[in-house]
Amino acid sequence: MESSDKVVETVIVGNYVEMETDGKPSDLKSKVSKLFWHGGSAYDAWFSCASNQVAQVLLTLPYSFSQLGMMSGVAFQLFYGLMGSWTAYIISVLYVEYRTRKEREKADFRTHVIQWFEVLDGLLGKHWRNVGLAFNCTFLLFGSVIQLIACASNIYYINDNLDKRTWTYIFGACCATTVFIPSFHNYRIWSFLGLVMTTYTSWYLTIASLLHGQVEGVKHSGPSKLVLYFTGATNILYTFGGHAVTVEIMHAMWKPQKFKAIYLWATVYVLTLTLPSASAVYWAFGDLLLNHSNAFSLLPRSPFKDMAVILMLIHQFITFGFACTPLYFVWEKAIGMHECKSMCKRAAARLPVVVPIWFLAIVFPFFGPINSTVGSLLVSFTVYIIPALAHVFTFRSAAARENAVEQPSKYFGKWVGTYVINIFVVVWVLIVGFGFGGWASMINFIHQIDTFGLFTKCYQCPPQLPPHMANATAPIPSPMANVTHLPPRHHAL
């Protein structure tokens, strides 16, 4: 062990070499930083996974239930929750394998963040790296876009003086401040607060819907069309496919090999939030949700709702940072700034990453349908198909299996069972998620473009009646009509 301001100890655990920061903080500032800012424990990883798995998607799951029906909605959440936990485990195994091999070659990762495409490169070569990089970056790009869209959609329900497009401009500038967050080590307090926020919002949706009761003449006709059914299913695929940042979260841990079951336990907690809230809102409003992809739009205004909206806005800022930080790392590596010690220079270099995200959020503001499209076309490969196939090909030879750092558990059937599960994941997601889901999601997405157009000013906003009709008795036009030019008025249910 070597003495200095920071003592770095090289610990060998089996065949796995890790570097862990040791020593106690020397002053109050260091203690405060360690408590709120600089985290790398298994608990930090759990909070990161649990808070990042559901953000705005919590508000679109009732919409998915209206497309799927109650039974299918619950079943798909449980099924994709397990499948997502499995592929997160597979990614963690591949990360440990890659890092162990590199550290045997005396590689030093104290100033370098390992990312998924580098794992693929080290284990399987440049072609896998290029495919993984393309899918991962595109998914994270649109994941960040979705957070901006969600910010504008949510704030509109407590302040409709500005249209959603204008709110997107404002929140795009706010979210650009995430360029100053160095890495996933520095999300300790944000991850904790993020989970508190989603927990509050989930139980607000549940309790408010139950107290509101069912609307008059409520209908629960889902599933009614195959297009809607598979659109809803792919939104849930997206929900439990939030581990495109798994490698970065693992790398931020002091002991990454402890990650194995963290995502599963995070998923178990998330299910206690998503199942009650989606079921309660769908029970209360039924088919109305087919034209209201944001659950906030149907609940009456109250201080509790305003609090939920504000908390989700803050949480979406956090999730934007989670999705964007890996993109910042990729960009830094591309321009040679990744190991720069000046955070101000790195922040300035990161700013170009935010611009296309901002632009795309203004072009495609389709809150809800865009989740399903991203889920079917990007999440299906990034999070499910590529990791499962990568594991199969990495350990296809007997020598690779014999020398593997992480041997499969007997509970999974060892190597044979692991292979069977991986192939099942690939086939299922390729056919159901990418195939049927892609078909349904693209039809729905194109329908949104045909109905509202690109750069729409206020997606799914209620119409503003002309002054001379304000007190007239008339049916409220369908929310699917193109009513994007004037600010809305609230219509009490």
Q: What is the pLDDT of residue 452?
A: 64
The pLDDT of residue 467 is above 50? no
Q: What residues contact 308, with CB distance under 8 A and at least 6 apart?
A: 200, 201, 204, 205, 296
Q: What is the pTM of this model?
A: 0.81
Higher pLDDT, 300 or 55: 300
Mean pLDDT is lowest, of 27-41, 186-200, 370-384, for 27-41
Cα gap 452→364, rounded to integer Å: 10
- State pLDDT tens for residues 70-90: 999 999 999 999 999 999 999
Cα gap 405→123, rounded to integer Å: 13
Contact 17, 10 (CB under 8 A): yes
Q: Residue 286 corresponds to which tokens in the numbers above?
A: 């039924």
The pLDDT of residue 19 is above 50? no
Cα gap 409→181, rounded to integer Å: 37
Q: DSSP secondary-structure letter at 6?
A: S
Contact 213, 286 (CB under 8 A): no
The pLDDT of residue 199 is above 70? yes
Grade residue 159 by pLDDT with cuts at 50, 70 and 90.
confident
Helix-then-strand count for the chain, H and E: 18, 2
Grade residue 293 by pLDDT with cuts at 50, 70 and 90.
confident
